[in-house]
Amino acid sequence: MNTPAKLVTYVAGLAVVFGAALGVGSAVGEVGAPPETTTRGEGTAPSAGHGDSTGHGDRGDATTTPAQAAAQNTPGGLQVSENGYTLTPLTATIKPGEPADFRFTVTGPDGRPVTDYQVQHDKKLHFIVVSRDLGSFQHVHPVEAGGGVWSVKLTFPAAGTYRAFADFAPTGASALTLGTDVLVAGDYAPKALPQASRTVGVDGYTVTLEGDLTPGQASKLTLKVSKDGKPVTDLQPYLGAYGHLVALRARDLAYLHVHPDGAPGDGKTQAGPEIVFYAEVPSAGDYRLFLDFQHEGEVRTADFTLGAGEATAASTAGPSAGPSSSKGTDHDSTPHSH
């Protein structure tokens, strides 16, 4: 075959090949098109921020990868850094039993201290400090010292390791709970987890707990407040609610901050004696519950140990009643004991 004939035959062959490829492309659609995302609906884990039951910020509506799904299901407070935000303590030396000006910052994805926060439940930032054995509890609200630095007066009652939680929402970002360990020098003897209890006393008040924790689903918890044997029906609103509940999982101190059903002034919610919560714990095990309530102008804290699921220390221990073992606070900048 001469050269011109060969060239004609080759071009014709290319036309057939490209024509077939075009047909296949039209049949299967755009190559490399992004997969459809799945939007959370009923039956998926709820997002969380300050005031819900899962204990961490909203990670967005799309759940596209196993890694993202795992992040969404991670309880709050277990990480010192998340979504580019990092909790950094600035106070290094702390002595037990002595008031300290505890300072810290939250740095953002740009590496700079965050200075702009959303107000949640009347505060820009909520700060929780507990001992690792969950016998000591403080809920305080630091003040801004300038330049993204937060300051709060804290007294650590004894030597040992404490966990500090910063619960906040930067402006334009999702709510987060970050945690960091705080070391207080001195001889330290850890205590056993307080026994399971359904009734506790604090400052002349008696608080009873009804309901059980079921891992993986919302559980109704009803707390009743009485004083001198009479129901308290005039609880005072504090931070936009009649009560606040912090739940901490024993051993790793996974954090959940739960707020009650209803709100003061909604025409339906009574000012006591009952405060109803819906809490979802992530797993079986023992939990410590700390209830903050305000009456006669003072905020008090009642604490409980409660087991979720079977074969937990809390669920197998017998019921006990007695004075609350937690340390209450005024929930502003200066803690005080009850």
Please name each of the domains of the chain with its CATH number.
75-184 (2.60.40.1930), 199-308 (2.60.40.10)
Taking the complete model, does pTM exceed 0.85, yes or no? no
**Residue 312 C-alpha from the chain's centroid:** 22
Neighbours of 70 (CB within 10 A): 9
Contact 180, 89 (CB under 8 A): yes
- Classify strands 99-107 and 85-89 as parallel, antiparallel or unpaired: antiparallel
pLDDT in tens, the chain (338 residues): 554 444 334 434 434 333 433 333 333 333 333 333 333 333 333 333 444 444 444 434 444 455 444 456 678 999 999 999 999 999 988 999 999 999 999 999 999 999 999 998 889 999 999 999 999 999 999 999 999 999 999 999 999 999 999 999 999 999 999 999 999 999 998 889 999 989 999 999 999 999 999 999 999 999 999 999 999 999 999 988 999 999 999 999 999 878 788 999 999 999 999 999 999 999 999 999 999 999 999 999 999 999 998 644 444 444 333 333 344 444 444 333 33
The pLDDT value given to residue 260 = 87
Sheet holding 149-155, edge to edge: 81-82, 85-89, 99-107, 149-155, 143-146
CB-based contacts of 295: which residues, under 8 Å, 6+ apart?
A: 205, 225, 227, 232, 234, 235, 236
Neighbours of 184 (CB within 10 A): 20
Q: Over 33-62, what HEC string results? A: CCCCCCECCCCCCCCCCCECCCCCCCCCCE
Query: With DSSP H G I counted as helix, E B as strand and the rest as coil, what are the percentages for the chain, rounded to 5?
Result: 10, 40, 50
Give per-residue burial for 302-314: e unless 16+ CB within 10 Å, then b: bbbbbbbbeebeb
The pLDDT value given to residue 309 = 86
The pLDDT value given to residue 19 = 40
Residue ranges of E strands in 59-148: 81-82, 85-89, 99-107, 125-131, 137-140, 143-146
131 vs 96: CA distance, rounded Å: 12
Contact 271, 233 (CB under 8 A): yes
Give per-residue burial for 268-287: e unless 16+ CB within 10 Å, then b: ebeebbbbbbbbbbbebbbb
256 vs 53: CA distance, rounded Å: 6
Residue 135, burial from CB neighbour count under 10 angstroms (0-12, 13-18, 19+): buried
The pLDDT value given to residue 35 = 36
Contact 85, 108 (CB under 8 A): yes
- What single string gives the DSSP state of each residue in 152-198? EEEE--SSEEEEEEEEE-BTTS--EEEEEEEEE-S-----PPPPPEE
The pLDDT value given to residue 65 = 53
338-to-100, 201, 210, 301 alpha-carbon distances in Å: 19, 10, 24, 8
Report residue 253 as tokens: 């101190």
